[in-house]
Structure 1
Amino acid sequence: MTGHLSRRSLLALAGVGTGALLTAGCADGKSDVSAGPQTIDWWHIQNTEPMLPVWAEMARLYETRHDNVTVEVQPLENEDFKAALTKATRAGSSPDLFQSWGGGLLREQAEAGLVKDITAQVQPWIGQLLPAALQPYTVDGRIYGVPFDIGMIGFWYNRDLFAEARITSPPSTWAQLLAAVRKLKAAGIVPIALAGKDKWPGHYYWAYLAMRIGGLGALQHAAEDGNFDTPDFVAAGQRFRELIELRPFQPRFQRAEYGSAGGQAAAMGNGEAAMELMGQWAPSIQASSSTSDRGIGGQLGFFTFPVVEGGKGEATDAFGGGNGFAVGRDAPPATVDFLRTLLRSENQRRAAETGAVLPTNLAAVGRIKDPNNQVVAAHLAVATGFQLYLDQAFPSAVGQQINDSVAQLIEGSRRPEQIVKDITTVAKQSQ
């Protein structure tokens, strides 16, 4: 499962040709919310400002309008959530409503009977959502989750620090990126912030390089035959090592987490690093993690991952994904109705206003006001192809091996030609 989105759907995301976006919010659908007292156990990872209070308020309002329904909200840090969900699913259960990125893990959950097929229940209103965003949550034509956000990974950078290092424009090629890193280091500036402890941020580099070198076709072939032991994937590791050998990351990056104090987002938000490779949520997490509570403000810029000279990939091929929710197998009847409430246009607009969400409800898409989100949406509008995060697109064991292997590449304990063999071994076993 590689999650390729059509250009027409990506255009809709940015509000291009959106005559159909003037429709109202989600249509009413049938959902049993009157079947006695019900408690919805809701796990999400928006555990900081700005979305933490927004989700809490939406849950509270739903409870006031449905006096027989209680929503127990459990905000969890990303890695804590993954560990808790793994523990729950291994025990044969799952929360009623929980964070999902779709892809290979959701397929495994569906095949194990841990999530509910909600295809029939969402039919009255699912047409209000961006079709492309729904793709990772659809398994063999059946819907097991609903996306509330979609975006892409790119470089966020500090304009002031670039200017201090005499970098006049964002790099558009891999050679230019390496040159920019050298200039930043020469100026005494940390070039890149990285959450080495979390591992998943590191895999973005290798995945993007594989796309730029081998094109989307390289990822498609790997999804089909489970073989990562190819020249393109080896070359991706070799190019990444070119960057790693420049020692571009902040001190103690291997112990740094993404959203914690002193972590990757905080380094950017406090102006302690010039760049980070991260998704559309980065500005809001930078702000909430910084000592100023606003990050670096208008000095924050965005550029897409550079092309690799001689590579087959397009500069406009995007890598990323979105956030959504899956419904647990034993969730009470009101759960899907509550999920529908979260996806209503007025609630999606409110989420978009925080700057932390690029909405998937078509009626809210054209209302993106945050300048950073507008930039991301504009890049998505001209995207010629789209690849879902590799640690989500493939089965969970493969995704974990990719993260682990890239972490080993970064620390220097495994070479590029070794990690592709390790990943291939797990991928073959998972087929």
Structure 2
Amino acid sequence: MRPFGTTSNFSRRGFLAASAATGLGAAGLSACGSSDDSGSGKKTIEWWNITTTQPAKKLWAQRAKEFEAAHPDVKIKVVTLENEAYKSKMTAQIASGKLPDIFHTWGGGVLKQQLDAGLVEDLTDRVSSWTGNYVPASMAAYKFDDKLYAVPFDIGAVGFWYNKALFKKAGITAPPTTWSGYLDAIRALKKAGVTPIALAGKEKWPGMYYWAYLSMRVAGLDAMQKASDDADFTGDDFVKAGQHLKDLVALQPFQKGFLGGAYSDPNGEAALMGNGKAAMELMGQWAPIVEADSGKGIGKDLGFFSFPAVEGGKGALTEVFGGGGGHALRKGAPQEALDFLKFFAEKEFAEKLIKQTGLIPVSKDTADALTDPNLTAVSEMLNKSTGFQLYLDQAYAPAVGQEINDSVAALIAGSKSPEQVTRSVTQVAKSEKS
């Protein structure tokens, strides 16, 4: 099972054809941590990552070689794994108490578990001199008790991608900013003969986004954290969030057969958007790429807006839901591992990644490198954000995230009530705490 949900993070970012690219089996990954290479006299730093797609994979390998050239006494052993293989290997390494010197992390619940096991290095003071201008939202998933345990290289956020031409056809002059206005827009689209929302119901995590954002807007970020800390999601505000989602489902806004719909299939959620067959999808910053890959793409007709505010709710329109990727160090990793993190984060290389691979800047110093208008819209939302909530199937313990995905899918399918969703999630959360 994916540590953070039911589908790979690459699927979420549109990298849907990723495969294990190293050929390394378990034996090749059994010994982690730096070592002295007796044959060459070099210190070996082991770096595990999940960047299996081009051109990013090539750029990351080149960066390791550039570091070796600048540090002749160091060898960077690059271990690149597809997402699911990476998680399986990391689970085994965590159980053994041996992590790589440098390893990919999404932050949240799994990083917290590694931290609680004493396996992760505190980077707070060691990176402060060169991360001071990072976008606060990019750091949020890796902070616990105001201490930083990973350095982000990627950040993104979920919002509504919409078809401007279909909105115009329905007489909608501007994206809605309130939940009641959003439901009105759904009604207008249906009246105009337009499918309002594309949804990959089969994959569950796209539906989770709705309950997560509604919970944020109704309960607020502090309540989200408290519910996790107390292992109790049965509060009235979480029930209200489910009721709002139930109200949306009652309008029948999704495409025919959405419960069996996939995300990236030829007839899936992204293709419906990419072919102009649906007006909206709630998705992350990878959406335009996947829409164009799965369908024809709608070009300049594609727009983006934030998840609406819920009237009377405690959350703010400027609070954002999303996630990213970062690098952490094992406890006791050598200085050379930290030196590589800083080398990887240097402005020139970060700008290259932004321009060539579509990453959204994590540092304000590299913001000018972003020119894609769609990604710029997401970046601007992140820069203006007043709060950040990590994907729920990453923020919480893995079993809790899985239950949220499953229970929300059942709510959307009509087989669970809003109250039953909160009780099911709470039951799993309490069992994880015990």
Within the alignment, does 1:203 sit opposite 2:205 as a pair?
no
Which of residues 239, 244, 250 in structure 1 aligns to 2:244? Answer: 239
**Aligned partners of 1:82 and 1:406: how far apart in 2?**
24
Give the stretch that moved more between structures: 330-339 or 396-405. Answer: 330-339
What amino acid sits opposite 1:177 in the alignment?
A: Y
Aligned-residue offset at 1:177: 2.0
The AA in structure 1 aligned to 2:42 is G
Structure having greater relative contact order (Cα 8 Å, sep ≥ 6): 1
Letter in 1 for 2:49: W
> Aligned with 1:222: secondary structure?
helix
- The C-alpha deviation readout for 1:233-271, integer Å capped at 9, x for no partner, is 111111101112333233443444444554433332333
Paired residue for 1:189?
A: 194
How far apart, in 2, do the equivalents of 1:132 and 1:89 lie? 27
Shift of 1:359: 1.2
Change (3 A) 1:199 1:328: farther
Q: Tell me the amino acid that sits aligned with residue 402 of structure 1.
A: I
Q: Give per-residue Cα distances to partners, 1:31-75, cap 9 Å, x unaligned.
A: x9996263635332x555xxx313422312422552663554535
Structure 1 window deviating more from structure 2 (340-349 vs 118-127): it is 118-127
**3-state DSSP of counterpart to 1:398:** helix
Q: Which of 221, 238, 241 is residue 216 of structure 1 equivalent to?
A: 221
Give the deviation of 1:197 after TM superposition: 3.3
Is the Cα–Cα contact under 8 Å of residues 264 and 294 in structure 2 kept in the other structure?
no
Q: Superposition pairs for residues 17-416 of structure 1, below 5 Å?
A: 36=42, 38=44, 40-44=46-50, 47-48=52-53, 52-63=54-65, 66=68, 69=75, 71-72=77-78, 74=80, 76=82, 82=87, 85-86=90-91, 89=94, 97-119=102-124, 122=127, 125-127=130-132, 129-259=134-264, 261-287=266-292, 289-292=293-296, 295-328=297-330, 335-354=337-356, 356-416=358-418
- Secondary structure of 1:38's match? strand
Offset at residue 420 of structure 1 (A): 0.4
- Identical amino acids, percent of aligned pairs: 47
Is 2:55–2:357's contact at 8 Å kept on the other side of the alignment? no
Instruction: Write the letter of the residue equivalent to 1:319.
Output: F
SS at match of 1:66: helix
CA distance in 2, matches of 1:244, 1:215: 22
8 Å Cα contact 1:167-1:180 kept in structure 2: yes
Work out whether residues 355 and 373 of structure 1, in 8 Å CA contact, stay in contact via their aligned partners in 2.
Answer: no
The separation in 1 between residues aligned to 2:202 and 2:405, in whole angstroms, is: 11
Aligned partner of residue 172 in structure 1, secondary structure: coil
SS of the residue 2:48 aligns to: strand
2:407, 2:361 → 1: CA distance? 33
Give the 3-state SS of the residue equivalent to 1:360 in structure 2. coil
Q: CA deviation at 1:231?
A: 1.2
Shift in alpha-carbon separation, 1:429–1:39, aligned structure 2, 3 A: same
Q: Do 2:171 and 2:188's aligned partners in 1 also have CA atoms closer than 8 Å?
A: yes
User: How far did 1:182 drift?
Assistant: 3.0
Residue of structure 1 equivalent to 2:5: none
Work out the CA distance in 2 between the residues paired with 1:204 and 1:40. Answer: 35
Q: Secondary structure at the match of 1:125?
A: helix
CA contact (8 A) 2:155 2:323 kept: yes
Give, in angstroms, the shift of residue 154 of structure 1: 1.1
- The aligned length equals 393
Q: 2-side partners of 1:36 and 1:226: how far apart?
A: 48
The change in CA–CA distance for 1:84 and 1:183 in structure 2 (over 3 A counts) is: farther
Cα distance in structure 1, aligned partners of 2:59 and 2:357: 17
Residues 83 and 421 (structure 1 numbering): CA distance in 2 closer, same or farther, change over 3 Å?
farther
Q: Is the 8 A contact 1:229 1:424 kept in 2?
A: yes
CA distance in 1 between partners of 2:130 and 2:326 (Å): 16
Quick one: distance in 2 between partners of 1:88 and 1:413? Answer: 39
User: Gapped runs of 5+ residues in structure 1?
Assistant: 1-31
Evaluate the alpha carbon distance shift between residue 354 and residue 328 of structure 1 in structure 2; reply closer, same or farther with a 3 A threshold. same
CA distance, structure 1, for counterparts of residue 46 and residue 191 of structure 2 = 54
State the Cα distance separating 1:111 from its structure 2 match: 1.6
Q: Distance in 2 between matches of 1:102 and 1:134?
A: 9
Is the contact made by 1:173 and 1:308 (CA closer than 8 Å) also made in structure 2?
Answer: yes
C-alpha distance in structure 2 between counterparts of 1:280 and 1:315, whole Å: 18
TM-score, reference length from structure 1: 0.78
CA–CA distance in 1 between the matches of 2:102 and 2:274? 31
- Output one character per residue of 1:207-250: Cα deviation in whole Å (capped at 9) or x when no partner: 11122222334324313422211111111111101112333233
In structure 1, the residue corresponding to 2:394 is in which secondary structure?
helix
The one-letter amino acid of 1:129's match is Y
Deviation at residue 201 of structure 1 after TM alignment: 2.1
Residue aligning to 1:15: none
SS in 1 for 2:208: helix
Call closer, same or farther: CA 1:356–1:141 in 2, change over 3 Å.
same
Secondary structure of 1:308's counterpart equals coil
Output the CA distance in 2 between the equivalents of 1:234 and 1:285.
33
Structure 2: 5+ residue stretches without partners: 1-35
In structure 2, relative to structure 1, the CA distance for the partners of 1:42 and 1:197 (3 Å cut) is: farther
* RMSD, matched Cα: 3.3
Q: Distance in 1 between matches of 2:194 and 2:94?
A: 44
Q: Secondary structure at 2:239's aligned position in 1?
A: helix
TM-score normalised by L of structure 2: 0.78
